Amino acid sequence: MTKKEETLFQTRLERHLDELRWLYMELYDNEAMFDELCGELRVYAEERSAALKRRDLEREADPEWYRSNNLMGMMLYIDNFAGDLNGVRKKLPYIEKIGVNLIHLMPFLDTVPGRSDGGYAVADFQAVRPDLGTMDDLEQLTAACHKKGVNVCMDFVMNHTSQDHQWAKRARAGDGEYMSRYFFFADPSIPQEYEKTVPQVFPTTAPGNFTWLPDCGHYVMTSFYPYQWDLNYRSPRVFNEMMYNFLFLANKGMDMIRIDAVPYIWKELGTDCRNLPQVHTIVRMMRMIGEIVCPSVILLGEVVMEPVKVVPYFGTVEKPECHLLYNVTTMCTTWHTAATRDTRLLRRQLDTVNALPKQYVFLNYLRCHDDIGWGLDYAALRQWGISEVPHKKFLSDWFQGHVEGSVSRGELYNADPASGDARQCGTTASLCGIEKAGFEGDQEAMERAVRFDLTLHAMMFMQTGVPLLYSGDEIAQINDYSYKADPNKAEDSRYLHRGKLNWELAAHADDPSTPEGRVFQGLNALGALRKNNPAFSAAADVWTLDTGDDGLLAIGRYLDGQKIIGVFNFTGEEKSVTFPHDSGKFTDLISGKKYILEGLHIPAYGCYYMEQKQSRESAEAKPADA
C-alpha cells in the first residue's frame, strides 16, 4: 500500500473497529482469531486493483448510488445466456440495448454436475465452473462491464458447502477440525431433537434436516439437499474463512453480492434455526467488513420469509445490515392478484412497504430463477373469507391452467399432498397466457397476454427500489420443457423457466409486429421512463389510491413538482375509474396522450402512467388521495 492508501484503510478500520471487536468477541471470545481477521482485511484491501480502489472512492462519495432510479437489473444464467463468461462480455451491447445496467450472474462457482442444485452447492469458492471460464475471465468481464457503466452482482452461498468441497472431504475422512466446521453427530438422538423444532425446506424432494453417512458413521446437517452440508458458524474459523472468500470474490470486481439463504446460517438446538439474533450479528459484521475493505460493494440479502421477518435484515439506520433486500412478498402477492383479479391484498402489501423508512430499498421482480411460493398474508385473507389451504390449491390450479378462465401454463414444484402446499414454476410470458395464445394461434388472446405481461412489469417498475428483469422475460420467452429429458434436471421443475435464451426470438426485438418485439420495446420504454422521471426516485412520496374497484390498483408518486399516478387493470374487462382529488389534465407517459382522471377508461389488462406537473402547494393535498 502507498502511505495514502494505508492511511485510508486505517481510517476505515478505525471507524468500525470497536463495534466489530465487540460483536466478534460476543460470538467467539477469541482474540487471536479476531487479530487474524483484521490482518487479513488489510491484505485484501491492499490486493484490490487500482480501478476498484478508484471505484471505492467514487461510491464512498455517493453512498446511496444504489437507490437511484437509474438502476435497472437483469438476472441471468451465464451458460443459458451466452455460453460462458467471455460470451457474456461479447453480449454486453444487447444488455445495454435492453437498458440494463446491473447484471446478476447466477451461480458460477465450481460445483459437481448432478449435485449442484443449480450451482448452490459450491465445491470451491475461489474457482469458476470450468465450462464457464476462469477467474481471469470473470475479472475481464467485470472490467468490461464497468467501462460501460454496468454493475455486476453474484451469489455468495453462506449457509453450506457442497459435499465435494475440500472441507467436507476432510470432515468425511474423520478429521476433527473439519468435522467441527459442519454439524456431525454419531448419536441419532441429537438430530432427532433438531427435527422436533426445525421445519423442512423441501419436505417432498429432500425430507428431513440430516443425512446419514454410512461410510463415516455420522449424521450431518443438510437443511436443503443431502449434498449441501450446513456450515457451523459457531466456529470462528468458519466465519473468518467465509469472509476471506467474500473478499476474494469482491476483489474480482463485484459491485453487489447476494448473500444466499442468510436466515439459516445460525443453528440453535430447540429453535427453528431461522432468523436467530446471531444471524444479524454476522450480517452486521459482514457489512462493516465490506465498508472497511471494499466500500463500493453492497449486500443484497435473500430472505424468503414473511414481511415481519424480512425487514430486520436492513438493520437499523444507525447500524445497517443489508443494503438491499428482495421484495418477495410483493412478488408473490402480485401473482395472487393476477389469479384472483382482486387487488386488495396487493394494495395492503404496498402500503406496508411504502410506510417503511426511505433508507430501506427493495429489489423488485416478477420472476427469478426460483419458484413462486405462496407466502401470503393469510390473516388478511381470512378477513375476506379466504382460507389458506383451499386458496393455495386454487392458485396452484390456476397457474397450471386447470381453472376455467385461466390462460396460465405453469408447473408445480415441491408439492406436498399432506399440507396442500405447492410452489409454482413458469416464465412470466407463460403465466400471462402468451404460451397458450401462441400455441393456439389466437391473435386476440395474444394481444391481451402481451398487454398483461407489460402491465405487470409496469406495476413492478412503479414500486420504489431496483427493478430486476429475468433473462428471457424481455422477449416474452415461454417455458422450456426440454429439462424433462435431462436426468440431472428432470426432477426439478424450476428448470421449466431456466431455459437457454432464444437468440432467434431476440432478433425480433426491433419488430413490433411480434410478441417478443412488443414486449422488448415496451419494457425498454418503461425502463427509460423510470430513469428519466424524478418521481420514480427512492426519495419520492409513494401511496396507493382508492379506485372503488377491487380489480384496479392505483399507485401515486410525487417528487420535485412531478406527480405520477399509475393505474393497473388486473381483469379481462375494460374498467372505468375517477380520482376526485386529482383534477386537471394528466399526460400518459406511455402513450403521450392527455386525459382527465374522471371516468377514465382502462383497457382489459391495461395500464397508464398519468403525469401532472404540480406546484409543491397543490401536491400537499396528496394524502386525500389515499
260 is catalytic: yes
Cα–Cα distance measured from residue 106 to residue 101, given in angstroms and rounded to the nearest whole number: 16
Catalytic annotation, pick one of 164, 302, 371, 492: 302
Catalytic annotation, pick one of 117, 155, 230, 260: 260
Exposed / middle / buried, residue 439 (Cβ in 10 Å: 0-12, 13-18, 19+): exposed
Cα–Cα distance measured from residue 321 to residue 303, given in angstroms and rounded to the nearest whole number: 13
Exposed / middle / buried, residue 410 (Cβ in 10 Å: 0-12, 13-18, 19+): buried
Whole-number CA gyration radius for the chain: 25
CA distances (Å), 453 to each of 265, 494, 585, in order? 36, 20, 28
Q: Is residue 98 within 8 Å of residue 521, measured between CB atoms?
A: no
Closest of 128, 399, 364, 158 to residue 278, by C-alpha:
158
Cα–Cα distance measured from residue 501 to residue 247, given in angstroms and rounded to the nearest whole number: 31
Does residue 287 come out as left (phi exceeding 0), alpha (psi in the -120 to 50 range) or beta?
alpha
Find where cell 377514465 sits: 600
Cβ-Cβ contacts under 8 Å for 407 (sequence gap 6 or more): 401, 432, 433, 436, 437, 445, 449
If you write DSSP's letter for every residue of 476-517 in order, what string do you get?
T----GGGGG-TTTTT-GGGGG-PPP-HHHHTTTT-TTSHHH
Cα–Cα distance measured from residue 585 to residue 601, given in angstroms and rounded to the nearest whole number: 15
Q: What are the residue ranges of helices labelled H in 428-484?
A: 428-432, 434-440, 443-462
Cα–Cα distance measured from residue 531 to residue 68, given in angstroms and rounded to the nearest whole number: 8
Closest of 289, 279, 337, 274 to residue 313, by C-alpha:
279
Strand 298-301 relative to strand 228-230: parallel, antiparallel, unpaired?
Answer: unpaired
If you write DSSP's letter for every residue of 1-44 in order, what string do you get?
--HHHHHHHHHHHHHHHHHHHHHHHHHH--HHHHHHHHHHHHHH
Which residues are known to be catalytic? 260, 302
